[in-house]
């Protein structure tokens, strides 16, 4: 990408959106057979009923590439029209190169700058804000923003407090420059490092490089202080969203739909309560995917638009929180034809996209032993793209306790 800055007033509109979820489903009943938990506890405390698990041949880059190409098809542009690729993830394929670089090649782009963004579950919102800065400053015309995660390979399936929460998937948007007002209107990003060790993955980095001992100690898995994280989330999500709404010169009642990070139905209910809004303003799909970290907001956004929950002119707020602690929100005025998304999704089959593998090297079997049985059973095939879990209710209608 060559940098060009002409300082003219520009707006960054969402012109494309797409998502991908692996076919294999891990239900609460499956988890009952692995750890001391039960479906009722998980549903009551989190709202999650099932989550997706990537197959052995899938990676963060492969899922990201499918979602990205779908977003590009929805936008009606070519892969080479993309000037910059920002990929938010805490589960990259490798420490280096960036997963964004692999995606660039897989989608057939030859000219974009590509980099990963590390802000955990807030990563997509951080990447969106960065993309918006590039577009509105005139430094990029089309930016591809992706959130993709393969969390099931970083979970301890003997730790019931974490393994029930997370799942795999990817979502993406294209932000495009336009002279007409619309797109991102208001923004808020926060980072509170006091929470740095509330959700973390201790080993594998410079502080504690991988070794037989770090493996024995189980330090390559996600650890979390659930209650502290819950407290942070309920305190921060509503205030972060409110700051982004006020930054747009609006008030909560002006917002047609919130796309909150899909971590826990009780956290989303607390946001609605904090903003004095009914739950029907909150989009919820965590019952079907669990927490997919940086992928959760773009998957939810794409599904909400494809389901007809967003109309041209609507105000939408994307809002997330995550490890760091980080949080972020963007108030968006929607301007794209919502009908384009389903055709964009249908235009790209997962097998259409190949991520190049290294020469003379192969990974070990990536499927966690605890999931081997689940992964061996036949998965749903040819899942309709507008109904990812046939027969499931469209939205979560959950009885939850405080
Ligand atoms: N099944 C059954 N019982 C369980 C389970 C389980 N899966 N997990 C925990 N319990 C038990 C606990 O051991 C505890 O038992 P005790 O009272 O005998 O000690 C009891 O249930 C209550 O545990 P709490 O942790 O208080 O349960 P809580 O209601 O807080 O729910 C949860 C736990 C769901 C993890 C909640 O705290 C939460 O959602 N926190 C936020 C997590 C989150 O969103 N993380 C993602 C951050 S995003 C990112 O960047 C990765």
Please give the full DSSP string across 161-184, using - where no structure is assigned: HHHTTB-EEEEEEEEEEESSS-EE
Residue ranges around ligand 1 (CB below 6 Å): 37, 41-42, 45-46, 120-121, 160-161, 164, 199, 224, 226-227, 229-230, 233, 263-264, 291, 293, 322-323
- Give the contacts of 207 (CB within 8 A, at least 6 positions apart): none
Do 374 and 31 form a contact (C-beta atoms < 8 A)?
A: no
Compute φ and ψ for 389, nearest 5 degrees: -125, 95
Do 332 and 188 form a contact (C-beta atoms < 8 A)?
A: no
Tell me the chain's radius of gyration from C-alpha atoms.
20
Mean pLDDT over each residue of the chain, to the nearest integer: 93
Protein residue closest via CA to atom 41 of ligand 1: 230
pLDDT of 116-139, one tens digit each?
Answer: 999 999 999 999 999 999 999 999
How many Å apart are CA 171 and CA 68, to the nearest integer? 7
How many Å apart are CA 176 and CA 82, to the nearest integer? 9
- Domains of the chain (ranges; CATH) run 11-346 (3.40.47.10)
Burial category of 274 from C-beta neighbours within 10 Å (exposed 0-12, middle 13-18, buried 19 and up)? middle
- Give the contacts of 344 (CB within 8 A, at least 6 positions apart): 16, 17, 18, 70, 71, 72, 73, 74, 75
Q: At what angle do helices 265-274 and 39-46 cross, to 10 degrees?
A: 20
User: How many angstroms is it from 227 CA to the middle of ligand 1?
Assistant: 7
pLDDT of 220-242, one tens digit each?
Answer: 999 999 999 999 999 999 999 99
Listed residue (20, 117, 29, 22) closest to 69, CA to CA:
20
pLDDT of 252-267, one tens digit each?
Answer: 999 999 999 999 999 9
Query: pLDDT at position 8, please?
Result: 64
CA distances in angstroms from 218 to 119, 159, 355, listed in the order given:
23, 11, 30
Query: pLDDT at position 399, please?
Result: 40
As given in the structure block, the two tokens for residue 208 are: 């504690």
Q: Which atom of ligand 1 is nearest to the CA of 122?
A: 50
Active-site residues, by number, are 121, 261, 291
As given in the structure block, the two tokens for residue 166 are: 């997370």
pTM of the predicted structure, to 2 decimals: 0.93
- Compute how many other C-beta atoms are within 10 angstroms of the C-beta atom of residue 46: 23
């Amino acid at each position: 990408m060559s940098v060009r800055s002409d300082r003219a007033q520009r707006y960054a509109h969402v012109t494309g959106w797409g998502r991908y979820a692996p076919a294999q489903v891990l239900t609460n009943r499956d988890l009952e057979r692995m750890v001391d938990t039960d479906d009722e506890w998980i549903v009551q405390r989190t709202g999650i009923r099932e989550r997706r698990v990537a197959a052995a041949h899938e990676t963060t880059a492969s899922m990201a590439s499918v979602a990205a190409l779908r977003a590009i098809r929805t936008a009606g542009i070519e892969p080479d029209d993309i000037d910059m690729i920002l990929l938010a993830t805490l589960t990259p394929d490798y420490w280096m190169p960036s997963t964004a670089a692999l995606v660039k090649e897989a989608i057939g782009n030859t000219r974009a700058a590509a980099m990963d963004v590390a802000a955990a579950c807030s990563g997509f919102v951080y990447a969106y804000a960065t993309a918006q800065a590039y577009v509105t400053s005139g430094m990029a015309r089309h930016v591809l923003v992706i959130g993709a995660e393969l969390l099931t390979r970083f979970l301890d399936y003997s730790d019931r407090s974490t393994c029930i929460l997370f799942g795999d998937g990817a979502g993406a948007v294209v932000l495009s420059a336009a002279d007409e007002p619309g797109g991102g209107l208001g923004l808020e990003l926060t980072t509170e490092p006091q929470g740095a060790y509330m959700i973390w993955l201790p080993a594998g980095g410079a502080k504690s490089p991988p070794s037989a001992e770090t493996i024995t100690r189980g330090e390559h898995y996600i650890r979390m202080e659930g209650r502290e994280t819950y407290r942070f989330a309920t305190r921060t999500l509503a205030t972060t969203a409110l700051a982004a709404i006020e930054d747009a010169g609006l008030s909560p009642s002006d917002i047609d739909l919130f796309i909150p990070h899909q971590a826990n139905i009780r956290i989303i209910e607390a946001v609605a309560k904090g903003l004095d809004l009914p739950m029907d303003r909150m989009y919820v799909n965590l019952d079907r995917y669990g927490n997919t970290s940086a992928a959760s907001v773009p998957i939810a956004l794409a599904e909400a638009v494809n389901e007809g929950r967003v109309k041209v002119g609507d105000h939408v707020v994307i809002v997330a929180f995550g490890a760091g602690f980080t949080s972020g929100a963007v108030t968006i005025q929607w301007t794209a034809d919502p009908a384009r998304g389903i055709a964009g999704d249908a235009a790209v089959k997962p097998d259409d996209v190949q991520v190049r593998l290294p020469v003379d090297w192969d990974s070990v079997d990536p499927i966690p032993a605890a999931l081997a049985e689940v992964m061996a059973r036949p998965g749903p095939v040819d899942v309709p793209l507008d109904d990812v879990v046939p027969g499931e209710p469209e939205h979560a209608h959950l009885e939850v306790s405080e």
